[in-house]
Structure 1
Amino acid sequence: MSRRIVLAPDSFKGTASAADAAAALAAGWARTAPDDEVLARPMADGGEGTVDALAAADPAAERMPVRVTGPDGRPVDTSWLRLTGADGERLGVVELASASGITLLDPLQPLDAHTIGFGEAIAAALDAGVDRLLLAIGGSASTDGGLGALTALGARATDASGQPVAPGNRGLGDLDAIELSGLRPLPPGGAVILSDVTNPLLGPAGAAAVFGPQKGADADTVALMDAHLARFVRVLRHGFEAADAPRPAPAPETPGAGAAGGAGYGLLAWGATAVSGAAAVAEAIGLAAAIDRADVVVTGEGRFDGQSEAGKVPSEVRATALAAGVPVALVAGAIAAETGDFVASVSLTDLAGSGDEAMARTLHWLEEAGARLAGEVAAG
């Protein structure tokens, strides 16, 4: 008897995109259950791959090329995504990872990497006349509080002598004033931050402490970066007061302010609002409607662990499937948390015999996982 299967994985970071993961799972599933109807709905949570996931779900999506300033000052050729909503709304999707992402750096530059290119890509979408922005901010290379993006959007950040500060977190240490009068307004429908991170900007759970080491910072550098971010908060607050802004500067304790090296904080200062990246992507690709007509859902990610419950793709897909009364299965490169709510689960590491082998041939083992899951589901 033919069944409808929805495949909604996240990317397997560094080894397989969400779209490629879904295709490999589909190939394996077809080997075991060729009569089943398989629908791919690759997912993302606001990090790298968000543009790809949204583009895959909309044949009319347009990638709009743009050259921006990369996180180390070198030019980067990237694109933002233009979508048309059901009501004709012109949507622009801008992904930080492709303009100011950590994969663009070698070596890492924890004090000097910046988000200027991300702001330039946002400006390009504004120039094209979008009605609303979706801003995917995972995968950042920097800890500049989003000041680079704000300056690309028209803010002016200066030191005590009135000169522009250097890009990156290092420049925050010299920051004396921020002039906001030239900051470009939001598009008519506003801007939405897509992220799975709820960390505050400062302190032991903040941008520098939690994510700085991933960006090349040692303990002393982390402390320095956190102090520089705190200076940014103070100066920005004065900038809001000087501009007689209709709202106060965002609080550094705001959940998500520490996302993407504090880019979440900078975007909140611009006036953007923050939402769960996975939930927003799920809504944009019509995941609930697809699942409502399904018999089985399969989701996955590179590592399923305790953090997976905090707004990651598998938790979002699982919640949507369970709400619809549809069983959901899990595939992950490694599984380090309970999987009780899933009807079946496959670890690529266990399937392949080692983590190294699973990472070396991820698509192969995803296909094998698809075949195994199809058999387990068929067996009840």
Structure 2
Amino acid sequence: MRVVVAPDSYKESLCAADVAAAIAEGVRQAAPEAEILSVPMADGGEGSLDAVLAATKGERRRAVVLDANGQPCEAAWGWLGNGTAFIEMAEAAGLERIPPAQRRPLRASTYGVGQLVLQALDAGARRIVLGLGGSATTDGGAGLFQALGGHLFDAEGGELPPGGGALHRLSKVDTNKLDGRLASVQFEIAVDVDNPLCGERGAAAIFGPQKGATPDDVAFLDKALAHFAAVCREASGRDEAGTPGTGAAGGLGFVIKSFFQAEFRPGVELIADLAELDQALRGARLVFTGEGRMDRQTLLGKTPAGVARHGRRQGATVIALAGSLGEGYEALYEVGVTAAFSVVPGPMELSQACHDAAALLRERARDCMLLWLAGQTGH
């Protein structure tokens, strides 16, 4: 009997691989003879690098790059072999790297993400999978473009400084010195939102406030991004500002889509392909998935919904385990979840639940497995 364990992380508690290990242990307690396949998952945002490396047995590599504020930091990226690299943009330009008092929404840059791309190119990458999410930036990918050899000039011929706040001064985009290796690289961009670059649903309006942007900052950044998009359109011949997903991660995907070979894909689907989820699911009778909190929003590109869809196509029973179940979680039943449970047995402080998460997952997985087995045998 094959059981597939394919959860996301429990944020601020356990990474996806540790969640999978805890669930697998609980399943094994109830069914020692079961064939258990662990496939740590993610949706392309924070934690995706850990999940991909755990699922693919890829190699974690490290480099010193610039963070969103231009300070040196150590960032990890993944080499998956066969010319494929995985980069989680938050490793270099993540919001969690910057203390709240030091966040600079007008000056935050994706330059360090471009430096990670250069590391991948040096390793021989021909395919670069880029996970968006958790960014501190709203620069439309301008910093990445500059790190890769592109130039952004103002009217006096000077190079623009870092950050989305400078983009309103952009006069010319120069692609002549972009790294030549980029011409033979395919980018696959993992996104879990469909926001465009600009406007009321754009990068600045929707995501700027959580990065420290004031209402005035949001309006200024939105106009700057619109101007950036117009100048880029003249340089590239592509009009990507309205493309769904270009507003993710402060617009990082916009510049990649405008100047390079790139495809946007739902993050959970891209990670599922890298982790070979469908291969693991073949012949599986039971699937466990989950994440720290599940509610109606989980339907919008999150891991449990994606895994459930894959499991349903294989005819498997899908059990979703969450730290907490919020309003509307029942909507998951429409996409393939058979039953959803909270792992918390009763009132508990959040700090205690996070501390005990592995034990709670083991116990709930064991109980679910015992119940499922009883249903199969009729006892």
Q: Output the TM-score relative to the length of structure 2.
A: 0.91
Pairing 1:1-380 to 2, within 5 Å after superposition: 3-59=1-57, 61-84=58-81, 89-107=82-100, 108-185=103-180, 186=182, 188-240=184-236, 248-271=237-260, 272-336=262-326, 337-338=329-330, 339-340=332-333, 341-349=336-344, 351=346, 353=348, 355-380=350-375
Tell me the distance in 1 between the aligned counterparts of 2:29 and 2:122: 48
Shift of 1:209: 1.4
Q: Pick closer, same or farther for the CA change 1:19–1:177 going to 2, 3 Å.
A: same
Shift of 1:106: 0.9
CA contact (8 A) 1:344 1:373 kept: no
Q: Deviations over 1:113-142 (max 9, x none)?
A: 111000000011112221211111222111
Could you say what secondary structure the match of 1:200 adopts? coil
CA contact (8 A) 2:93 2:112 kept: yes
CA contact (8 A) 1:9 1:22 kept: yes
CA contact (8 A) 2:240 2:258 kept: no
CA contact (8 A) 1:130 1:187 kept: no
Q: Pick closer, same or farther for the CA change 1:331–1:250 going to 2, 3 Å.
A: farther
Shift of 1:273: 1.4
Tell me the distance in 1 between the aligned counterparts of 2:374 and 2:201: 45
Percentage of pairs with the same residue = 39
Q: Pick closer, same or farther for the CA change 1:171–1:75 going to 2, 3 Å.
A: same
Shift of 1:343: 2.2
Shift of 1:250: 3.3
Q: Pick closer, same or farther for the CA change 1:22–1:116 going to 2, 3 Å.
A: same
CA contact (8 A) 1:9 1:299 kept: yes
Structure 2 residue runs of 5 or longer lacking an equivalent are none
Could you say what secondary structure the match of 1:295 adopts? strand
CA contact (8 A) 1:132 1:187 kept: no
Structure 2 letter corresponding to 1:219? P
Shift of 1:187: 5.4
Structure 2 letter corresponding to 1:71? A
Q: Pick closer, same or farther for the CA change 1:102–1:322 going to 2, 3 Å.
A: same
Q: Pick closer, same or farther for the CA change 1:98–1:19 going to 2, 3 Å.
A: same
Could you say what secondary structure the match of 1:177 adopts? strand
Shift of 1:366: 2.3
Tell me the distance in 2 between the aligned counterparts of 1:204 and 1:369: 42
Tell me the distance in 2 between the aligned counterparts of 1:116 and 1:274: 21
Shift of 1:288: 0.5
Shift of 1:355: 4.5
Structure 1 letter corresponding to 2:301? G
Q: Pick closer, same or farther for the CA change 1:164–1:42 going to 2, 3 Å.
A: same
Tell me the distance in 1 between the aligned counterparts of 2:209 and 2:366: 38
Shift of 1:259: 0.8
Q: Output the TM-score relative to the length of structure 1.
A: 0.90
Q: Deviations over 1:42-99 (max 9, x none)?
A: 011111222222211233x222221111111111112321122xxxx31111110111
Shift of 1:189: 4.8
Q: Pick closer, same or farther for the CA change 1:174–1:308 going to 2, 3 Å.
A: same
Please name the residue that 1:243 is paired with: none
CA contact (8 A) 1:292 1:326 kept: no
Could you say what secondary structure the match of 1:135 adopts? strand
Tell me the distance in 1 between the aligned counterparts of 2:50 and 2:183: 23
Could you say what secondary structure the match of 2:366 adopts? helix
CA contact (8 A) 1:63 1:81 kept: yes
Q: Pick closer, same or farther for the CA change 1:227–1:362 going to 2, 3 Å.
A: farther
Could you say what secondary structure the match of 2:252 adopts? helix
Tell me the distance in 2 between the aligned counterparts of 1:217 and 1:364: 40
Structure 2 letter corresponding to 1:197? V
Tell me the distance in 1 between the aligned counterparts of 2:60 and 2:90: 15
Tell me the distance in 1 between the aligned counterparts of 2:371 and 2:31: 11
Structure 2 letter corresponding to 1:81? G
Shift of 1:27: 2.3
Structure 1 residue runs of 5 or longer lacking an equivalent are 241-247
